[in-house]
Structure formats: C-alpha cells, structure tokens
Amino acid sequence: MTRTRRLLVDPIRCDAHGLCAELLPEMVQLDDWGYPIVSDQAVPAHLLGHARRAVAACPTLALLFAEAEVAQPARSRR
C-alpha cells in the first residue's frame, strides 16, 4: 500500500481569494469567478512542500489534504 495525498476544496468555505493558485499553479487553476479548480491527481512528491504551504496559507481553511491508501499494482513476472 502507498499513501497518496490529494487536494480538496471545501466550496462552502472558499471565498475565492485565489492564493492557492498563486502558490501552487501546477495543481490549482481559477475559474472565471476566481474559484479554484484543483487537480484530482495525487500531489507529486516534488510539490508536497508547495502544497503544504498552500493549505496553510488558505485564509478560510478551505483547502485541504485528503490522504488515501492506494494498493500498488502487482508486478508482472517474466
């Protein structure tokens, strides 16, 4: 099992400040109203530090980490 982290936005809390997109443009885009569209991909290891900063900087605590255990694919035998 491998632990993965994804980003989630609580749309009730989000006030469309846009800070998350400035801090993590690789994974967050803004829609026409300034609300974040967050990638549904796992946060890659090289972006985890930036993702943590974006989560910590969100002024309304709307940006969250979701952790999941993912089974690794079986390796094929040859």
Shortest approach of ligand SF4 to residue 41 CB, angstroms?
17
Shortest approach of ligand SF4 to residue 23 CB, angstroms?
8
Where along the sequence are the contacts to ligand SF4 (CB under 6 A)? 9, 14-20, 36, 58-60, 62-63
Token pair of 40 as six digits: 């549904």
Shortest approach of ligand SF4 to residue 38 CB, angstroms?
8
How many C-beta atoms lie closer than 10 Å to residue 1's C-beta? 8
5's CB contacts (< 8 A; 6+ apart) are 42, 43, 48, 51, 65, 66, 67, 68
Of 42 and 54, CB closest to ligand SF4: 54
